[in-house]
Amino acid sequence: MFRESHKALIALLLVTGYAGYSIHIYTDLPQANVEQHIQVEKGKKLWQSYNCIACHQVYGLGGYLGPDLTNTYSLKGPAYIKAFLESGTNVMPDFNMNNEEMEALLAYMEDMDRTGIASPSSFKLHLNGTIEQ
């Protein structure tokens, strides 16, 4: 049996480690934190209010009915995205967005695109199981 003091010590060590790790991540975020342009902020809100993530992915996270949209802005261009937003597809509904909303969403997708490359084919795999981009 574990002694009560040993259990408390292990728990304390783990909790302290978790708190320290969390604080470290909060204070040293992975990417530079610049203030978001008002249009990008609006686009992000629209992205959430239309629940785009239910069908699409960002860096492979999200739903799988539609394609990953992380780098669609640079790969296909804003006109291509706008064509989909204007009338939908046989799967995607037409959300009846006005031009202002579409421009905001495009600004958000452009901002998202700048953060990195999402394609799994861009990764270099190492024999020890780690990856590099």
In angstroms, the CA 109 to CA 73 distance is 6
Count of chain residues binding another protein (CB under 8 A)? 64
The distance of closest approach from Cβ of residue 96 to another protein in the complex, given in angstroms and rounded to an integer, is 11
Binding pattern for the stretch 7-36 against another protein, x by CB under 8 A and - elsewhere: x--xx--x--xx--xx--xx-xxxxxxxxx
In angstroms, the CA 128 to CA 94 distance is 47
Q: Are 133 and 117 in contact (CB under 8 A)?
A: yes
Residues 65-104 that bind another protein (CB under 8 A): 65-68, 90-93
Out of 64, 74, 83, 86, point to the residue binding another protein (CB under 8 A).
64
Q: Are 92 and 83 in contact (CB under 8 A)?
A: no
107 sits near another protein (criterion: CB under 8 A): no
Q: Are 56 and 70 in contact (CB under 8 A)?
A: no
Nearest to 75 by CA among 42, 132, 119: 119
Read off φ and ψ for residue 47, nearest 5 degrees: -55, -40
54 sits near another protein (criterion: CB under 8 A): yes
Residues that bind another protein (CB under 8 A): 1-2, 4, 7, 10-11, 14, 17-18, 21-22, 25-26, 28-36, 44-45, 48-55, 57-68, 90-93, 111-112, 115-121, 123, 125-126, 129-131, 133
